[in-house]
Chain A
């Protein structure tokens, strides 16, 4: 077992259950295909990382999907709210013995392997590392020990998640490091940018 763990929160690939904010305006079919691309991207930037990688599924473990069993450990998210689910994921991973833990979702197409490596490195100096998303949330959160209060009293999926988290760090005298600001793919207005980035990425391959 490594000392560093990357937790990946992923939705099970189910028609009508992924990217619901996007699906509301562009339809379920399109939303599912976008989500698949985001999954492939997340696999491509994480599979080479030296840290242990643990996928947390929303509903059930799939032994036969893009997350190869010899690369990714697999668990199920546990809790009612996003905050509780993340808190529990950190808790079980610290209990398992990891010393530096990061969590990411699968919504950030701009995220690169370097960002994740920088995040692990920044935990040498700081208690907390945060990847700020342009919409006011965060695309990454990392820490060296459990801080349950980082998940309390936060209005999830609003534009105040990042600011609330920073304020909580300050109130608790925690040092933190902000990674470069990146954009998530959540709504129809993100789609044009996403498709251009996808095109550019495929050209480079």
Chain B
């Protein structure tokens, strides 16, 4: 029924726990498969994920958009749910998704929360409850019916970042979008490593440049220069 799709690159340390948590939180057994779409990891991500019971696929291309599209192309479920490897969906998340689907919503996402209680991060999360693209992050995960995903052409593989935001515009043209009343928990690691205000400022700055039409390679270069971790 629901195919979970997680793009990975060198996630051998966390991926088994993520898969375990996903299964545990699927109270009504609505998941038909957990697809790990690996971007040619050099570590043991593929074998560890396979060992945890996930379906592992690798397309010929690297990059989160290409990985998520390839994972979706192999998916058997009618509903696709895209999740980041360092994020954990809420309890009963598949029930939320199914209920939204039954309510004629063809796509949707959760609110965001961090695994760290810093007030500024909390404040950021508070804003994610609003269905405004400016306060939407890829970390919030995304469910969309396979049909809508196919018809809108999937993630834009020319985008090196912001692909999670860009697709929302196209998806929303094809059906109702549900802001679900529960939160995905994501790792605050990249914020803590880089300084919380600094990190949020970087995201905000990149977001503005993105909307001003700056090129993707430029944004990615800026992003890599400013953030002390290549993974996001």
Closest to A173 in B: B60
Shortest Cβ distance from residue B74 to the other chain A in the assembled complex, whole angstroms: 5
Q: Which of B41, B42, B53 contacts A180 (CB 8 A)?
A: B53
* Binary contact readout B50-92 vs A (1 if CB under 8 angstroms, 0 otherwise): 1101011111100000000010011000000000000000000
A198 on interface, CB distance cutoff 8 Å: no
Q: Which of B47, B50, B51, B74 contacts A122 (CB 8 A)?
A: B74
Q: Is B50 touching A178 in the complex (CB atoms < 8 A)?
A: yes
Closest to B49 in A: A178
Q: Is B50 touching A132 in the complex (CB atoms < 8 A)?
A: yes
A163 and B53 alpha carbons, distance in the complex (Å): 17
With a CB–CB cut-off of 8 A, which chain B residues contact A180? Answer: 50, 53, 55
Q: Is A177 touching B44 in the complex (CB atoms < 8 A)?
A: no
A76 on interface, CB distance cutoff 8 Å: no
A181 on interface, CB distance cutoff 8 Å: yes
With known contacts A122-B74, A125-B74, A176–B57 Cβ distance under 8 A: yes
B46 on interface, CB distance cutoff 8 Å: yes
Q: Which of A134, A163, A175 contacts B57 (CB 8 A)?
A: A175
A203 and B16 alpha carbons, distance in the complex (Å): 34
Q: Is B47 touching A170 in the complex (CB atoms < 8 A)?
A: no
Q: Is A175 touching B70 in the complex (CB atoms < 8 A)?
A: yes
B200 on interface, CB distance cutoff 8 Å: no
Q: Is A166 touching B47 in the complex (CB atoms < 8 A)?
A: yes
A169 on interface, CB distance cutoff 8 Å: yes
A26 on interface, CB distance cutoff 8 Å: no
B interface residues, tally (CB under 8 Å): 18
B40 on interface, CB distance cutoff 8 Å: yes
Shortest Cβ distance from residue B6 to the other chain A in the assembled complex, whole angstroms: 14
The interface centre, meaning the residue of A125, A162, A170 with most chain B CB atoms within 10 A of its CB, is A170
Q: Which of B51, B55, B58, B73 contacts A169 (CB 8 A)?
A: B58
Q: Is B60 touching A174 in the complex (CB atoms < 8 A)?
A: yes
* Binary contact readout A129-153 vs B (1 if CB under 8 angstroms, 0 otherwise): 0001010100000000000000000
A174 and B46 alpha carbons, distance in the complex (Å): 14
With known contacts A132-B47, A166-B46, A178–B55 Cβ distance under 8 A: yes
Shortest Cβ distance from residue B12 to the other chain A in the assembled complex, whole angstroms: 11
A59 and B140 alpha carbons, distance in the complex (Å): 58
Q: Which of A126, A173, A178 contacts B46 (CB 8 A)?
A: A178
Closest to A162 in B: B47
With a CB–CB cut-off of 8 A, which chain A residues contact B74? Answer: 122, 125-126, 177
A132 and B51 alpha carbons, distance in the complex (Å): 9
Beyond known contacts A136-B47, A173-B60: 9 more, CB 8 A cutoff: A122-B74, A127-B60, A132-B50, A166-B46, A170-B40, A175-B59, A176-B58, A178-B50, A178-B57
Chain A residues close to B by CB (< 8 Å): 122, 125-127, 132, 134, 136, 162-163, 166-167, 169-170, 173-178, 180-181
A sample of 29 inter-chain contacts (CB < 8 A) reads A122-B74, A125-B57, A125-B73, A125-B74, A127-B60, A132-B47, A162-B47, A163-B44, A163-B47, A166-B46, A166-B47, A166-B58, A170-B40, A170-B41, A170-B42, A170-B58, A175-B59, A175-B60, A175-B70, A176-B57, A177-B56, A177-B74, A178-B50, A178-B56, A178-B57, A180-B50, A181-B50, A181-B51, A181-B53
